Amino acid sequence: GKTVRESLGPEFGLLFENGVQSVLESNKIVTIEYYSPDGRDFYQAQLNLVVIQGEKMVSCLVRDITKRKLSEKALLESEEKFRVLTETANDAIITVNQKGIVLEWNNGAENLFGFSKSEVINESMHIFMPDDFIPLHEKGMERYLNTGVNNVIGKTVELTGKKKNGTLFPLELSTSSYFIGGEELFTGIIRDISQHKQFVEDLKKAKNQAELANIAKSEFISNMSHEIRTPMNSILGFSEILNQNLEDPALKYYSESIATSGKILLTLINDILDLSKIESGKLEIQNQKINIIEIINEMKLIFSNKFKEKNLEFKINIDKLFPSGILIDGVRTRQILLNLIGNAVKFTESGSVSIHLTDLKISKSKDLLDFVLIIEDTGIGISEDDQRHIFEAFSQAKKQNIEKYGGTGLGLAIVKKLVTLMGGVITIKSILGKGSSFYILFKNIRIVENSFTVREEARVDLKKKINFEPSKILMVDDNQLNRKLIVKYLSKFPELGVIEAENGLEAVQFASEIEFDLILMDMKMPVMDGYEAAKLIREKNIKIPIVAITASVFQETRSSILKVCDDFLPKPINESSVLKIISTYIKVIDSNQPQDRKEDEKKVKEYSIEELNKFKSLHKILKEEKLQKSKELIEYNAIFEIKEFGEDLLVLGEEYKFDELIKMSKDMLNYANLFDMEKLTLELKEFPNLIDTLENLINEE
């Protein structure tokens, strides 16, 4: 009942009426598209001419094309977005066909290469390629079309591009291929990486400069180590000699003060150098087989005087099943313990210092171990605020009385860095006024059973008279004080002839004329250094032992030294260290070894009948209570327990006034303080002979 205009609206109604008129006049099909008045639905009307009984009429077939129209609209919007995205992208986006003809060229490409779109569309892409790259591109495209093999499509590669003005620049190209209408097209996204390349180049230069600076720093540290330790060598060495020859108490006090101050200064220097070595990556961790239980027991001996002075108790708690041997850096483990226990003793006025060693986990294969080492004290404690930065270099607790406790604040920083280098973790728990606990966790440490450390250097008891085999020693150092110091140390041994040389060249000349038994040589000298001198001497006499005297703190320097020398003696030196190194290479005439008491029975003191009667009780104690213990100590090599054993024997010797037992026990204590396991073992092996000597005395009565 409605007209077309009423149904479709004026606009489409008119369009429909015109379509009907066109069909009637042209006898052709007319298609009209229109939408509903609310704009939601789309329709397509197909108008056809129909003749019924000679009368022309128009039929109309209407289809709902809403979905198609919406799809077309979405596609157009997507294409528009892509076009806008392409045109506004900072990167160049270029499309070419298989012949290399440019089909698409966005604004980014215009900005990058300098060519406008009209200059490149339908032109060869060769116009923005370097001339020498064109043949390579052609060959690569030919290979791809023939075999499908390519080095570019689907990858990001770095190439060189050419701007309109001929300038070449580095670019990054990402290429994809696709087919449209059966034709394969290639679209590349191109980015100028000139700034990135420059950044990388600047980074390399900065890295090289940093490495050069690090080398300079290392050389500075090495030089400073040498320059500082050399005068310290004289200060500590001559104060030691001076102290040995002074009788006036006041002068002796002044001399000891010089030595003490020098050692404090040396400790500070060592801390700074250690920290610098760690930060510059020059400190290397060297794992070795150690008995950490033995090291802990060493700590008790080392700090025994401090504990006595402050009346502190030292507790050691070790898991009974803790492995006797593990693979870890023994030197750094000692350094960590010395720092932490030293701090604990320093900041504890009463109570105790404790060490706990606990195995947390042993692997199923029984070859790996997780363990925690705890150092506890009942000292002044550390506040929560100070705990946050206590491991930082030069950091000290706010409540710490600097005048009273001293220190540089380097110790814990070094400990933290050493633990980290060794693959461990250190944490702290502390309550102000009640004490502190430091927890060190190590994981996956290899177990090496039945291993223990015995210090390799020779032990020399300076309290006893020793003699060397007659020998010639060459002392080489450009510093006269250093030479005179060693000459003074060796003046007690007339059998040692010492010849002095001021530099490496003199040393080489002397070594070619005289057959020396040992050469002590500084490594940093004018004219010719120790390295060159040692090489030249080695060429002529490979057998002569050469010991480097060095202030170096770097492992690689010491490694270099050991390539030309047999050993090294670190500065600052002292009488003990000099005699120990000499006794390693020159035989000691054995006045310091334990005597064979069986052979020496004739020299045993004569005792009264009353004393011999008392010895029966002593003999019973030694044979029934101490003999088996001595055998166990030989097997376990536990210095701390051997020292306790020696202390027990000394008490018995003094109680029964048995001089031979007193002498043996004092020797044991002396060797224990020197950590000399070799001589301790010899003393323990002599213990049964001493019991036999005592038994013979009793029987002779």
Q: How does pLDDT run across 615-640, given as a tens digit for each residue?
A: 888 898 998 888 888 888 876 666 66
- CB under 8 Å to 629, separation ≥6 — which residues? 645
Options 3.20.190.10, 3.30.450.20, 3.40.50.1110, 3.30.420.10; CATH for 89-192 is 3.30.450.20
Strand-pair category, 183-192 with 168-180: antiparallel
Residue range 394-413: mean pLDDT, rounded: 54
Superfamily of domain 292-446: Histidine kinase-like ATPase, C-terminal domain (3.30.565.10)
Alpha carbons 16 and 21: distance in angstroms, whole number: 9
- Residue type present at position 695: E
- Annotate 29-62 with DSSP letters as a single string: -EEEEEE-TTSS-EEEEEEEEEEETTEEEEEEEE
pLDDT of residue 455: 34
Greatest mean pLDDT among 144-148, 349-353, 561-565 = 349-353
- The answer to whether 661 and 679 have CB atoms below 8 angstroms apart is no
Q: What is the mean pLDDT of the chain?
A: 82
pLDDT of residue 387: 86
Q: How does pLDDT run across 126-147, given as a tens digit for each residue?
A: 999 999 999 999 998 888 888 8
Instruction: Indicate whether 386 pLDDT > 90.
Output: no
Q: How does pLDDT run across 459-485, given as a tens digit for each residue?
A: 455 545 678 889 999 999 998 888 888
Q: What tokens appear for 181 in the block?
A: 């209408």
pTM of the model: 0.41
User: May I ask the CATH class of domain 467-589?
Assistant: alpha beta
4-70 against 467-589: fold identical:
no
Q: Which residue has the higher pLDDT, 415 or 3?
A: 415
Cis amide bond preceding 572, omega within 30: yes
Tell me the CA distances in angstroms from 671 to 97, 154, 649, 681, one per residue in order.
90, 75, 15, 10
Q: How does pLDDT run across 219-243, given as a tens digit for each residue?
A: 676 676 667 777 877 788 888 888 8
pLDDT of residue 592: 44
Residue range 339-361: mean pLDDT, rounded: 90
Q: How does pLDDT run across 500-539, given as a tens digit for each residue?
A: 999 999 999 999 988 899 999 998 889 999 999 999 998 8
Flag the least confident range among 32-36, 276-280, 307-311: 276-280
Residue range 282-305: mean pLDDT, rounded: 80
* Token pair 């006893």: residue: 464
- Write down the domain spans for the chain: 4-70, 89-192, 292-446, 467-589, 601-700
Instruction: Indicate whether 453 pLDDT > 90.
Output: no
pLDDT band of 558, cuts 50, 70, 90: low
- How many helices, marked H, and strands, marked E, lie in the chain? 23, 22
Q: Which residue has the higher pLDDT, 409 or 349?
A: 349
pLDDT of residue 465: 66
In the chain, pLDDT over 70 holds for what percent of residues? 83
Domain covering 4-70, topology: Beta-Lactamase (3.30.450)
Reading across the β-sheet that carries 435-446, which strands appear in turn? 313-318, 352-362, 368-377, 435-446, 425-431
pLDDT of residue 450: 42
Nearest to 600 by CA among 696, 517, 678, 533: 696
